[in-house]
Amino acid sequence: MNSSSVSVSRFGRLWRVLAVLGAVVVLATAAFHLTGYADARGAGQRAGGWYARVFPALWAGFSLTLAIGAFGALWASLRPAAGSRGLLGLSAVLLWANAALLFAYVGNFGGAWLLALGALAISAAWLLAPHAT
């Protein structure tokens, strides 16, 4: 076995490991975000009217979006390598868009950085995943 086949083999495992690690970080971020749901619902009820219904839905929807991106990356990590790049790319774009929204509207805080870290790992997995031939 020559050295080039060893490095290809390592990258073959590395992209899957990065996809799983990124997904775990994003799922943890989504779960952490959901811990604030009761406060979000209370804030919506205090505002009253339309906000009482919409604010909790937006809060839960954001967590759901993160979970969908994470599960997409997990699913891609379990698929044959050639068919995984598209799903990894879509997951990464979805998560980067959510991270950008957090930084733009909420600001610089730990949750936004955790999401960016997970998106970065999934993006790296996308870059390292083999291309379909």
Residues near 80 by beta carbon (within 8 Å), at least 6 away in sequence: none
95 domain residue, yes or no: yes
The domain in which residue 30 lies consists of 26-128
Per the structure, the count of domains in the chain is: 1
pLDDT value, residue 10: 57
Does residue 16 sit within a domain? no
| 92 occurs within a structural domain | yes
Reading the block at residue 109, the tokens are 């805080």
**pLDDT tens across the length of the chain (133 residues):** 444 443 444 566 899 999 999 999 999 999 999 999 999 899 999 999 998 999 899 999 999 999 999 999 999 999 876 778 899 999 999 999 999 999 999 999 999 999 999 999 999 999 998 876 6
In a domain, 14, yes or no: no
User: Would 3 be classed as within a structural domain?
Assistant: no
9 belongs to a structural domain = no
Residue 7, pLDDT score: 44
Burial zone of 129 (CB within 10 Å; 0-12 exposed, 13-18 middle, 19+ buried): buried
